[in-house]
Amino acid sequence: MRRQAIASSTRVSSDARDRLNYLAGIGRQTEDVPVDGTIYSLRTLKGKEGRLALKAAGKFVDGTPENYYTLRDYTLAQAIYAIDGVDIEMIIGDDSIELVIEHLLGEMDDVVIDFIYSKFLALHNKQKSRFGLAPERLKEVAEDVKKS
- Contacts of the segment 105-108: beta carbons below 8 A, 24+ positions apart: 105/73, 105/76, 105/77
> What are the phi and psi torsion angles at 64 (to 5°)?
-75, 160
pLDDT in tens, 38-94: 999 999 998 888 888 888 777 765 666 677 888 899 999 999 999 999 999 999 998
Amino acid 13: pLDDT: 78
Amino acid 21: pLDDT: 62
d(CA 104, CA 70): 14
Amino acid 64: pLDDT: 67
CA atoms within 13 A on the CB side of 51: 3
Those residues whose C-beta lies under 8 Å from the C-beta of residue 4, and which sit 6 or more positions away, are: none
pLDDT in tens, 84-127: 999 999 999 987 888 999 999 999 999 999 999 999 999 999 88
Global pTM? 0.71
